Amino acid sequence: RFLANTTFDGLSGHIKVKGSSIVSSENNFFIWNLQHDPVGNPMWTRLGSWQEGKIIMDYGIWPEQAQRHRNHMQHPTRLHLRVVTLIEHPFVFTRDVDDEGLCPAGQLCLDPLTNDSAVLDNLFESLQGGNDTVPIELKKCCYGYCIDLLEKLAEDMNFDFDLYIVGDGKYGAWKNGHWTGLVGDLLAGTAHMAVTSFSINTARSQVIDFTSPFFSTSLGILVRTKDTAAPIGAFMWPLHWTMWLGIFVALHITAIFLTLYEWKSPFGMTPKGRNRNKVFSFSSALNVCYAILFGRTAAIKPPKCWTGRFLMNLWAIFCLFCLSTYTANLAAVMVGEKIYEELSGIHDPKLHHPSQGFRFGTVRESSAEDYVRQSFPEMHEYMRRYNVPATTDGVAYLKHDPEKLDAFIMDKALLDYEVSIDADCKLLTVGKPFAIEGYGIGLPPNSPLTSNISELISQYKSHGFMDVLHDKWYKVVPCGKRSFAVTE
């Protein structure tokens, strides 16, 4: 009764007592529950928070709250998490549900096109209630590398989950005073976990938790091979036009001298020769010279006089040198023909000092854009106009609309997959990899699940489960080795 209707400051901040039993504080406090993780170690799980004298429970975490869901009544102590993902092949694919709104394969997920927590609450409650009123166009079947990993974690950690696709389609970046995408959903409490090709970088790690990486990759550069259909005059490429002109001028001069020698010689095939039935004319000399130049046998009239024959042999030797030079240059031209955009890597001058018309970009608000912005501000300022909303957009521009993009910078794990499934084999990665990074599972800051999931991921790596996933989702394609790495 001594504290009734009093206010004071203590270690917990400013405390106000109303009556004799209501205690309020300006500070907020979290409520934790001690459980056991899948390997038997103690694990703290956040149940909710105490704010302004009221208990606010996290969705699905309070054990008794799970009893509201009919399909969880046998397991009231199982955790129930909300997981956000982002479509990125081969880590997450989507397909339409069947006519009954179910997924014969994969996990049912929602594509609500919003990150409003209240809207998501209503959708998932409707989905798990007796009357499913969720529009079928919002339902998708999610599958892929990360979905397999999520199912394995749910099995080993004994939790259930609701899965949805991030509303704005972004990984997450600091924009207009708040975080967008996956990071924003985790910070707002809309999701308890983010599972996709989620790159671990410094900016994100400062505001959310990441597990240990389950996939190691780097950034790469994707380009498109050029159409190799040669023009009609491509056979003339090995020699300069002055060389071609000189050869044909020499041919006609040689033909003229062959004709003169033959006509001036008493042994030549002329009307004045020794009973010759045939006449060696200028056209005959041209026929001989062209046949020797192109190495083709033809019905020719060879000269009969010794001077003419000697000149014909000199012309044959000259043609041999010309043919050898032409063949060697033709091989060099065909090998050295530029069939793709040559880039040595992120430090290539074409990227730092792009010529007029050279276009390259990356995905907006991705780790690739964050890396370029911090490391090469001028390059980032130039490429902003060519950045695209998603990886699939950048790949589509390269393949079908090359006038919009000449090179695409993104995670090499994603680019390698796009190269491997390209039926026309027009895509390839070039240059040295750069900006080594890893994919991790994102969680809210100070999440008690971080250490437990990291430990399980380490076990999966050592036991070969991650290798099985890699082989399942990567080793299926015709052009998988089309990578041109340039080394110094």
411 is an annotated ligand-binding site residue: yes
* pLDDT over 70 at 69, yes or no: no
Q: What is the pLDDT of residue 131?
A: 66
Residue 213: the pLDDT is: 93
Confidence tier at 73 by pLDDT (50, 70, 90): very low
Residue 270 reports pLDDT greater than 60: yes
Q: Is the pLDDT of residue 390 over 60?
A: yes
In the predicted structure, residue 194 carries a pLDDT above the cut 90: yes
At residue 141, the pLDDT reads 92
DSSP letter at 139 equals: E
Is residue 127 pLDDT above 60, yes or no?
yes
Q: What is the pTM of this model?
A: 0.64
> Higher-confidence residue: 7 or 392?
392
pLDDT, one tens digit per residue, over 418-434 is 888 888 788 888 888 88
Residue 367, annotated as binding a ligand: yes
* Non-local CB neighbours of 91 within 8 Å, separated by 6+ positions: 144, 145, 146, 196, 197, 439, 473
Count of beta carbons in the 10 Å neighbourhood of residue 75: 15
Give the whole-angstrom CA distance, residue 12 versus residue 454: 33
Neighbours of 487 (CB within 10 A): 7
- The verdict on whether residue 276 carries a ligand-binding annotation is no
Q: Which of 162-176, 233-247, 296-310, 417-431 tops mean pLDDT? A: 162-176
For range 320-346, the mean pLDDT: 74
Q: Is the dihedral of CA 98, 104, 106, 110 positive or negative?
A: positive
Contacts 24+ apart (CB under 8 A), 268-276: 268/303, 268/304, 268/305, 268/308, 269/301, 269/303, 269/304, 273/304, 276/304
Instruction: Over range 306-320, report the average pLDDT.
Output: 86
Average pLDDT score over residue span 43-57 = 67
The pLDDT of residue 152 is 93
Tokens 């979905």, residue located: 147
Per DSSP bridges, beta strands 79-85 and 193-194 are parallel
